[in-house]
Amino acid sequence: MKNVAYLLIAILMVSCGSNGTQSKYEQTIGDYLQTDKKGSKHDLKFKVIELNEQGTITVADSIAHLTDEFRKDKELIVKRVELAKKMTEELRSKTKKQNEIDQYNADIAVMNNRVDSLRNLPPDNLNGYDSRNANDVLALIIRCKYSIVPPRGTTVEETFDFYLSPDGSKCFGKTRAK
């Protein structure tokens, strides 16, 4: 009988503990949604319909994302320089004056150097990650289906993924759930 009592107490503690975390997420998301850009709070009759954790964002995830963004930006610039080089080559082929041909050749050489240096350029947007463990959690992803009642409006139901601090006390932003 004593063992059954201990088991019931343990189950109660675990269920209360998880509800505390869910409640913290609800509070953080509710505050985020009901606070405007000026910091004023509004009562939108926020009500959670469904709430669950979708995963985490780690240092490794963030580095991968930033590296990919850097690569995309770099490729866009490389393409623009290559387009300018192609246009310069076309202009060079149409001219007869040696001084213009020499200038176009010099411009093409500069563009070739820029493309080479851009292709070898390492990401420069990873400051602050040098000493971080790749497995450190930077954010929690919490999917929340909720209802709100905007001022002078009808009830709206939405589902968003919210990005919360690892302790669940701050909301960094949201994206519409897919």
User: Residue for token digits 């790749």?
Assistant: 134
How confident is the model at residue 87, as a pLDDT? 96
Per-residue pLDDT band for 170 (boundaries 50, 70, 90) equals very high
Exposure of 174 by Cβ count < 10 A (0-12 exposed, 13-18 middle, 19+ buried)?
middle
First to last CA, the chain: 49
pLDDT digits (tens, 9 = 90+) for 128-154: 888 889 999 999 999 999 999 988 889
Per-residue pLDDT band for 9 (boundaries 50, 70, 90) equals very low
Under DSSP, the state recorded for 49 is E
pTM for the structure as a whole: 0.69
Token digits of residue 98: 């040696």
- Contact yes or no for 141/162 (Cβ under 8 A): yes
How confident is the model at residue 162, as a pLDDT? 97
Using alpha carbons only, what angle is made at residue 121 by residues 88 and 135, rounded to the nearest 5 degrees? 145
Radius of gyration (C-alpha) of the chain in whole angstroms: 28
Distance CA(158)–CA(46), nearest Å, equals 11
Q: Region 112-122: what's the mean pLDDT?
A: 94
